[in-house]
Each structure stands twice: as structure tokens, then as C-alpha cells.
Structure 1
Amino acid sequence: MRPSSVPPFSELIGECRRSAVHLELRDTYEGYDDGGRFAEWKREGGITPAFEEDFRAWTGLVRETVARGVEMRRVRVVSVPVSEYIRFEYEATHLNEEAGEQVRWLPRTEAATLLVPGADLWIFDDRAIRFGHFTGDGALVRNEMCHDASVIEKFSEAFETIWKRATPHDLFTA
């Protein structure tokens, strides 16, 4: 697999017609520049109206995408007990779901017998994958595109298997 140039996310999601699925595998993205949302959550003790306002760009994009008939799904594979960062994500997930994104959670111990990709990824309409490569503290190193049909097929199958085993957000306890 050779890396290719990475278009902006808005372009990738804008070209979707059927599905956009996201697999998250890390217990922290604290090193990722999130506009200070995680620090605010820790300082304020929860999700604030300011957070919800900042998050509106994402939820607006989700609403627009779902309105076009694109199914958006996300699975987070997490260690249990969950990290503080995952508790933060968990508390904010209702915003993703209210916008139309389906979210499930899979404890890492329940993923042990599954073939799980080595990096976070987005799969767009079974035509392209965008891998996300992160540092140990969760800072984004780079994104990488893959258009290899055999790789896309394998990771699409892996995502579906993970999705089936994962617990819907409203039934998962962080």
C-alpha cells in the first residue's frame, strides 16, 4: 500500500453517497489540538454550552451528511475501566447521536479475538480509507489515504465485525 495525498475531510465526506464509518482505537487523543475542549471539560466538570457551540461545526456536518442519505457510524474500542479522556468523549457522544451519527463502544478485551486495524480510520463508501496515525499521547502525526480495493474490502469487513460486537452508546456504561 502506497500513501497518497490526503484531501480535506470536508471533501471526502462531501463525496460520500452511502456510508462513512469511523474506527477509533486509542484511549486518549489529549495531544490532539481540540481547541482546549478536554481541558475545559476537566476544569468545568462536564460538557458546557461553550463546548456544544464549538462542537456545532461537527454536528452540522453530520446533519448535512445524514440528510443526504449517508449513514455515519463510529466505533470506539476502549480499555475498561475507561480513561479520563474516554469519559469526556462518552459524555459528549449524545451530541454526535442527536446529529444522526450512530456510535458504539467495544471494550478492548472483547476485541481480542477480532482482526482490528493498527490505526484509526475512516472508510468512505467502500471506495477509500483515510488512516489516522497518532503519537502515544494522541497527537495527530499524519493522515494517509488508501484506495487499494483489497485493503478497503478487508477493513470494511473488519469494521462490520467490530460493529456487530460493539455496544450501542445508550447501552454502554463508561
Structure 2
Amino acid sequence: MSQSLASFADLIRSVEHSALHLEMRDVYAVENETDGFEAWKAGHRLNPEDRSSWWRPWLDLVQEVTGTGVAVRRARIVSEPASEYIRYEHSFTFTNVAGGEEVRWLPRRNASDLALPGNDFWLFDGKLVQFNVFDGDGHWVHTDETSDPNVAAFCSTAFEAVWDRAIPHEKYSV
């Protein structure tokens, strides 16, 4: 399934309680991040004081949704030492937190005994799962969606297991 930011925005705006996101890759090659990643590699860093320069429209959307009382949590399982991409991602995660997301990091070595799904996912209100399928180079391929209660329960359990072990963003360094 192909999904636009607008359709995702409509979906997350419909959430009543929680939106959970589990990321498990060390490299993403998402087209809208290419310029930012290249600038970061050249030494550019986001200015915490200049909110207008941050990742839009995502942060506005998160702020809107969390402002209604919805919990938006993101957990990232990462290899150590961190890949160049993860170091880039870590450098701007303060913007996610400022937008209202809670973000935690779990070193991959601490996830070996956890049962995890094969793909990154979003879980909405514990009922709807969207798996983000990427190719080996980190390019997004498509999104699979299911409301199968067994899959939702599995993803919820996996996310909470990661969350319980993960390190809050402000305490994690790469």
C-alpha cells in the first residue's frame, strides 16, 4: 500500500489514545531526508533555538495530536557503534521530543532475547498496525496494514518490551 503524508496525517489525527512507532533499522534511505543527511555530513546541525528550521510538517502534526492527549511514543533499536545515519537521526531527535513525542533508544545487543516483528511498524490505539517495509538499502517499498487482533497484540507486546529496556533520548548518546 502506498501512503501519502496527508493520508497518514488523517490516520494519526483519528487516534484516540496512542500511536507507537518501532524502528529497527540502522540505515534509512528516505527521499525527503537526503538533503538533510548530506548537509549533516557536511557539518550542519539544527539549532534548538530556531524551531522554524525543524522538520515540518511532521512536528506540527505531532504537536497537534499530542495536544489532544494522544501519547506518541517512538522506540529505536540500534547497533553500536551507531551507523552514520543513526548519528544523524540522533542529532535532530530533540525536535521530536519538543514536538511531543517520547523517544527511547535500545542498543541492539539488549534486544537479542525479545520477540520482534520482521519490520518497523506503527500501532494505533492498540488495534491497527502499519508495517513499513524497506529494501536492503533502506528505501521504503510499501506499507502493509492489518487490524488482526493477534498481530496488534504481538506488536504491542514487542513495543512495550523494547520500551521497558530502552534509554530515554535525553540520556542516550551515540
My pick for the range that moved more, 45-54 or 125-134, is 45-54
Over residues 98-155 of structure 1, what are the superposed CA-to-partner deviations in whole Å (9 max), with x where a residue is unaligned?
Answer: 1110000001000001111110000000110010000122110001101101110111
Residue 46 (str. 1) matches residue 45 (str. 2) = yes
Sort the Cα spacing of 1:52 and 1:27 in 2 relative to 1 into closer, same or farther, 3 A.
farther
Sort the Cα spacing of 1:52 and 1:131 in 2 relative to 1 into closer, same or farther, 3 A.
farther
How far apart, in 1, do the equivalents of 2:42 and 2:166 lie? 31
Name 2:30's counterpart in structure 1: 32
Identity within the alignment, %: 41
Name 1:145's counterpart in structure 2: 145
Name 1:129's counterpart in structure 2: 129
Structure 1 gaps, min length 5? none
> Secondary structure of the equivalent of 2:60?
helix
Deviation of 1:40 (Å) = 1.4
How far apart, in 2, do the equivalents of 1:33 and 1:54 lie? 17
Name 1:114's counterpart in structure 2: 114
Q: Map 1:71-86 onto structure 2 (within 5 A).
A: 71-86=71-86
Q: Do 2:19 and 2:72's aligned partners in 1 also have CA atoms closer than 8 Å?
A: yes
Over residues 88-107 of structure 1, what are the superposed CA-to-partner deviations in whole Å (9 max), with x where a residue is unaligned?
Answer: 11010100001110000001
Name 1:103's counterpart in structure 2: 103
Q: Do 2:2 and 2:142's aligned partners in 1 also have CA atoms closer than 8 Å?
A: no
Residue 66 (str. 1) matches residue 78 (str. 2) = no
Following TM superposition, where does structure 1 have runs of at least 4 consecutive aligned residues deviating by more than 3 angstroms? 4-7, 48-52
Residue 17 (str. 1) matches residue 22 (str. 2) = no
> Secondary structure of the equivalent of 2:123?
strand
TM-score, structure 1 as length reference: 0.91
Deviation of 1:13 (Å) = 0.1
My pick for the range that moved more, 37-46 or 146-155, is 37-46
Q: Paired residues, what number?
A: 170
Sort the Cα spacing of 1:100 and 1:54 in 2 relative to 1 into closer, same or farther, 3 A.
closer
Q: Do 1:131 and 1:145's aligned partners in 2 also have CA atoms closer than 8 Å?
A: yes
How far apart, in 2, do the equivalents of 1:68 and 1:12 lie? 14
Q: Do 1:134 and 1:141's aligned partners in 2 also have CA atoms closer than 8 Å?
A: yes
Structure 2 gaps, min length 5? none
